[in-house]
């Protein structure tokens, strides 16, 4: 595994729409392993492929240590409730804001072998799913923050 560089805000790659993954091969597995390592090294709870410069629909989430979600070609298929909580992003260091997100989110995705999986998360995990999926469409939390917090 290898740690990759995290792209920072201002880089146009963060504003592009990522393409679906079609090949579930060793190259994808290496990327997923690297993304988890990179996320952990940065003390983040989620990372999307565009943040390491790769415009593919891939994200990893780990809100609770050891509970890693690998999301390939993910889609939100259900959501309910609302929450307003603090959010940040590894690509926007030093910034935080309050966002309004669903309290419960169900994601349908593929795992690293191409099998269909579904995960439901609440609270922080629901926020992380929304935040990482937004990255795959070139969206950042600062776009939807209802207010930013100053350091």
**Which residues contact Ni ion by CB under 5 A?**
89
Phi, psi (deg, nearest 5) at residue 88: -140, -175
Q: Whole-number minimum distance, CB 60 to Ni ion, in Å?
A: 12
The encoded tokens of residue 24 equal 């579930």
Which CB atom, from 50 or from 102, has the smaller least distance to Ni ion? 50
Q: Whole-number minimum distance, CB 106 to Ni ion, in Å?
A: 20
Q: Whole-number minimum distance, CB 46 to Ni ion, in Å?
A: 7
Phi, psi (deg, nearest 5) at residue 25: -115, -175
Report the residue number whose CB is nearest to Ni ion.
89
Which CB atom, from 73 or from 127, has the smaller least distance to Ni ion? 127
Annotated catalytic, 132? yes
Which CB atom, from 114 or from 142, has the smaller least distance to Ni ion? 142
Query: Edge to edge, what strands does the sheet with 69-80 contain?
Result: 46-48, 58-61, 69-80, 104-110, 116-122
Q: Catalytic amino acids?
A: 132
């Amino acid at each position: 595994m290898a740690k990759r560089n995290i792209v920072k805000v201002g880089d146009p790659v963060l504003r592009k729409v990522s393409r679906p993954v079609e090949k579930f091969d060793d190259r994808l597995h290496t990327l997923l392993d690297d993304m988890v390592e990179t996320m952990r090294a940065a003390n983040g709870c989620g990372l999307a492929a565009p943040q390491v410069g790769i415009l593919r629909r891939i994200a990893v989430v780990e809100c609770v240590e050891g509970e890693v979600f690998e999301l390939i070609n993910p889609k939100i298929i259900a959501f309910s409730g609302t929450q307003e909580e603090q959010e940040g992003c590894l690509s926007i260091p030093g910034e935080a804001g309050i966002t309004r997100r669903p309290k419960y989110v169900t994601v349908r995705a593929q795992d690293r072998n191409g099998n269909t999986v579904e995960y439901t998360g609440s609270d922080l995990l629901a926020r992380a799913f929304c935040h990482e999926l937004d990255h795959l469409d070139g969206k950042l939390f600062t776009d939807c923050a209802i207010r930013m917090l100053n350091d």
